[in-house]
Amino acid sequence: IKTDTVEDEMGKLIELKAMRIGFICAGIGFVLSLISLLLNYSPIIMINILFLSFSLGSALEGLVQLYYYRKGIRYA
């Protein structure tokens, strides 16, 4: 017996939109951490910036998913 799994396209779209926002936040934090090294700040500051930006990006990704599941996605 063969069973096919049906994937929810709205769920995929919501995950992709949330992931994009999370990666943007993490990417900005990565660039800021490199700039902090360029400005001769301590490497500990760089690691803290990285940690905070990745944590914020992950939390933001979850919040965006909740928002879009609640609101829905409008196709324009």
Domain assignment present for residue 37? The answer is yes
Report the alpha-carbon distance of residue 53 to residue 30 in Å, rounded: 8
* Model confidence pLDDT, tens digit, residues 8-65: 888 899 999 999 999 999 999 999 999 999 999 999 999 999 999 999 999 999 999 9
> Domain range for residue 51?
19-71
Domain assignment present for residue 1? The answer is no
Question: What does the angle CA 53 – CA 71 – CA 5 come to, to the nearest 5 degrees?
Answer: 90
Please tell me the total count of domains within the chain: 1
What is the structure's pLDDT at 72? 83
What is the structure's pLDDT at 8? 80
Confidence label for 76 from pLDDT (cuts 50, 70 and 90): very low
Non-local (6+) Cβ contacts of 64 within 8 A are 17, 18, 21, 22
What is the structure's pLDDT at 68? 92
pLDDT at 75 over 90: no
